[in-house]
């Protein structure tokens, strides 16, 4: 693997780990304070309703303390002073804006919102969970955390989280109004009377059948493949790689996946459990986590299963479309998971995609270059 200065493995004692942690936590602290100041513009209404303010203030205080401590440590190590200074500056800015005792700002009737709170919380939870898993049992030991394209994929992570308002608008407003004709009160009443675990299982199976159908269509219909190719252009798998999705892809797939739950009128708790599980599994299956999960790998989608989907080796093309249950691929004849091997290479076969998030957004809309004339 070719690594430049920014992608070198992080080593203890050289100040980069503490420097990045200081800047990262300092940035998140400033953003969190802004969420307190402008809740209607910067937080997600459905999440906001469940927040415990004292827990969030404690989390913010801890973020600022660690940001300052890591900044000072970076200075003490006498390396990466710019990172240390930036981390301390960000912590001071968060304190200046009110820190963990900042007042909750006035309420506005905002026409829309940016999901900054969702970005902060999911980044913290995902980074802590998946970096730990990838360090404890890595699949590729020589792959650093800041592997090539890590910062490129983190831009997708930021964009897809901040745009949650658009995704929610489509799934919570547009879908119900478009599919209101499919609602049957008797069916919904019966489904809601089922135990939560049964509802969860039905949501999981029906959502994955929809995922299978849309995902397979994206591989087999050339015009749709150009959108999905953005996701497959990932050449190094880790927890951040799954974020690389063309902006329009999650709009379509999330709508399709949530449709059965809407028609069935699923209760809130099983639906929420499904959303949390789906989010966790999406991070897990892309991660550089080498555990093969024994016989469990035949039951639920694991990194081994989805890494094969991303493989560019000949045997890995157009297989393993399911997001949760490999048995769906077995039923439709697209299952491929050798028990003891991982794919050698990842990425798209043929023309490489352009680099850069905006070029990749435009890529599906550009006409393909004409084939060279026959010689
Ligand atoms: Zn795919
Ligand atoms: Zn994927």
Question: What residue spans define the domains of the chain?
Answer: 1-113, 164-365
- Integer Cα distance of 81 and 182 in angstroms: 61
Ligand at minimal distance from the CA of 320 is: 1
The most confident of 4-8, 38-42, 322-326, by mean pLDDT:
322-326
Q: How far is the CA of 287 from the centre of ligand 2 (A)?
A: 10
For residue 73, what are its two tokens? 């440590």
Residue 234 Cα to ligand 1 midpoint, Å, equals 11
Nearest to 319 by CA among 204, 207, 219, 209: 219
Q: Do 265 and 188 touch, CB atoms closer than 8 A? A: yes
The angle formed by the CA atoms of residues 50, 153 and 113, to the nearest 5 degrees, is: 35
318 CA to middle of ligand 1, Å? 7
Question: Could you tell me the distance, in angstroms and rounded to a whole number, from the CA of residue 75 to the centre of ligand 1?
Answer: 45
Low-confidence winner among 10-19, 45-54, 295-304, 361-370 (lowest mean pLDDT): 10-19
Sign of CA dihedral 260, 286, 336, 247: positive
Q: Model confidence over 311-321: pLDDT tens digits?
A: 999 899 999 99
Ligand number with the minimum distance to the CA of 214 = 1
Q: Is 16's pLDDT higher than 90? A: no
Model confidence pLDDT, tens digit, residues 50-65: 889 999 999 999 999 9
Report the distance separating Cα 321 and Cα 45, nearest Å. 32
159 CA → ligand 1 middle, Å? 20
pTM, two decimal places: 0.86
Residue whose token pair is 């804006």: 97
Q: What is the mean pLDDT of residues 257-272?
A: 91
Q: Is the pLDDT of residue 177 over 60?
A: yes
- Ligand nearest the Cα atom of residue 348: 1
Measure the CA–CA gap between 342 and 320, rounded to whole angstroms: 13
């Amino acid at each position: 693997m070719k690594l430049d200065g920014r992608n070198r493995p992080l080593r203890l004692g050289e100040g980069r780990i503490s420097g990045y942690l200081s800047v990262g936590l300092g940035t998140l602290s400033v953003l969190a304070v802004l969420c307190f100041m402008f809740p209607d513009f910067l937080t997600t209404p459905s999440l906001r309703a469940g927040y415990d303010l004292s827990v969030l203030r404690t989390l913010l205080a801890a973020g600022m303390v660690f940001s300052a401590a890591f900044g000072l440590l970076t200075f003490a190590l006498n390396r990466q002073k710019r990172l240390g200074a930036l981390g301390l500056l960000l912590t001071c800015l968060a304190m200046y804006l009110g820190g963990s005792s900042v007042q909750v700002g006035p309420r506005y009737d905002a026409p829309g919102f940016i999901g900054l709170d969702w970005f902060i919380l999911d980044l913290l939870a995902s980074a802590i969970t998946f970096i730990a898993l990838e360090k404890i049992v890595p699949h590729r030991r020589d792959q650093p955390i800041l592997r090539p394209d890590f910062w490129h994929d983190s831009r997708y992570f930021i964009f897809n989280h901040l745009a949650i308002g658009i995704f929610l608008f489509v799934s919570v407003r547009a879908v119900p109004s478009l599919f209101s004709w499919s609602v049957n009160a008797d069916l919904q009443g019966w489904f809601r009377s089922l135990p939560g675990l049964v509802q969860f299982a039905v949501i999981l199976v029906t959502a994955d059948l929809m995922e299978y159908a849309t995902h397979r269509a994206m591989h087999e219909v050339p015009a749709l493949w150009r959108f999905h190719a953005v996701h497959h252009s990932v050449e190094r798998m880790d927890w951040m790689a799954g974020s690389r999705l063309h902006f329009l892809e999650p709009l379509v797939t999330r709508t399709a996946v949530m449709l059965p739950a809407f028609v069935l009128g699923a209760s809130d708790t099983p639906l929420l459990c499904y959303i949390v599980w789906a989010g966790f599994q999406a991070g897990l299956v892309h991660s550089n986590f080498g555990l093969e999960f024994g016989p469990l790998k035949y039951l639920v989608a694991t990194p081994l299963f989805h890494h094969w989907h991303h493989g560019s080796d000949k045997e890995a093309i157009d297989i393993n479309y399911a997001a949760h249950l490999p048995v769906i691929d077995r039923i439709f004849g697209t299952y491929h998971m050798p028990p003891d091997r991982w794919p050698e290479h990842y990425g798209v076969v043929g023309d490489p995609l352009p680099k850069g998030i905006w070029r990749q957004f435009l890529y599906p809309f550009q006409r393909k270059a004409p084939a060279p004339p026959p010689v």
